[in-house]
Structure 1
């Protein structure tokens, strides 16, 4: 995904790639109004406050993430920058016309690494449902192959030299209004009906 900031303008909340009710009934407009309109927006607002007037003020999200990862005194900056990046990536990992079969080239890569698309989905579901507490499940490119990883809180594969292809958000605010404690139901519905294989294929290149 390209840098989400250019020049010295403040970081902005990127528009959703679909209407706020487009993911119904898997993810409701009510969930999106809080998740995107409140949580995602707050990360943007917080980051602008934290980096304003500092040496990080003119950097892209990716450069801020790289400059602050693993630094305890910059944890607030990292967490907000990474969560902006993660959420924008997550919205694009979903599509009202998602699910189904991946594009042919990506499907071939998935089959080379997981044997079947179904096995890949099962690994993603397992990572998403077993992530303890808040975090993310990711399909990533690692060298020539693909694999599934999970990260806690705001962490993301970029800090580990891995290329993200798609992600599933498993922070409670991503699903609790619609599914309460049934995280597995949310994850499986996303994988079956919303996951955007086309976005993953574009990221794979």
Structure 2
């Protein structure tokens, strides 16, 4: 055996390696930053609405997910991997809501709005006749989504668009990822129809 300080160093090194490998396996999910300030969408969505919906509601899904995955195989998985592999229930539902809300916030922009152009406008006009008719169809679909849920604008494999409603515990990450293997649907926009 070598001098005591080498043993201590070796022991400390071994402990640090063990702690480091445990930290690598644990993935704490966090509330993703908004792509804009909380007051940026006023008057359409107020800062108070964001403080509640993002700061409390979305955060609660993140907190619940982290609490539910502690000590499970999901603890080391990314959000998308949890959504793809978790069975129905609490882990899946909370992961799906975190994913959906994150996608939703990224569909919004303080500089957005107006009539789309290019390929999106062409696809909307082909399916619904006009952007105004699309907005009516999207709104009707969202209002008809019973309870809380999500209304998605999706691009199908043939390039056409469609509007799809899903319940609160369902996510585009799972539905569309599974379908993307065959190229069936790709999410383009979502509305949280609470």
| TM-score when normalising by structure 1 | 0.73
| Secondary structure of 1:150 counterpart | strand
How far is 1:122 from its partner? 1.5
| Cα distance in 2 for residues equivalent to 1:7 and 1:92 | 28
Measured against aligned partners, the alpha-carbon deviations of 1:11-40 in whole angstroms (never above 9, x if no partner) come to 111011111111111111011101100011
| Cα distance in 1 for residues equivalent to 2:126 and 2:78 | 34
Query: Which sections of structure 1, spanning at least 5 residues, go unmatched?
Result: 1-5, 172-205
How far is 1:113 from its partner? 2.5
Which protein has the larger Cα radius of gyration, Structure 1 or Structure 2?
A: 2
How far is 1:111 from its partner? 2.1
| Cα distance in 2 for residues equivalent to 1:158 and 1:48 | 19
Pair 1:133-2:147 in alignment:
yes
| Secondary structure of 1:164 counterpart | strand
Measured against aligned partners, the alpha-carbon deviations of 1:86-118 in whole angstroms (never above 9, x if no partner) come to 111111111112210213121122223322222
Match in the other structure for 1:76: 90
The equivalent position to 2:186 in structure 1, one of 163, 186, 190, is 163
Query: Which sections of structure 2, spanning at least 5 residues, go unmatched?
Result: 1-23, 180-184
Structure with higher RCO (Cα < 8 A, 6+ apart)? 1
Measured against aligned partners, the alpha-carbon deviations of 1:20-76 in whole angstroms (never above 9, x if no partner) come to 1111111110111011000111111111111122111222222111112xx34xx10
Measured against aligned partners, the alpha-carbon deviations of 1:152-180 in whole angstroms (never above 9, x if no partner) come to 11212343323211111111xxxxxxxxx
Pair 1:146-2:161 in alignment:
yes
| TM-score when normalising by structure 2 | 0.77
| Cα distance in 1 for residues equivalent to 2:118 and 2:50 | 31
| Cα distance in 2 for residues equivalent to 1:119 and 1:81 | 33
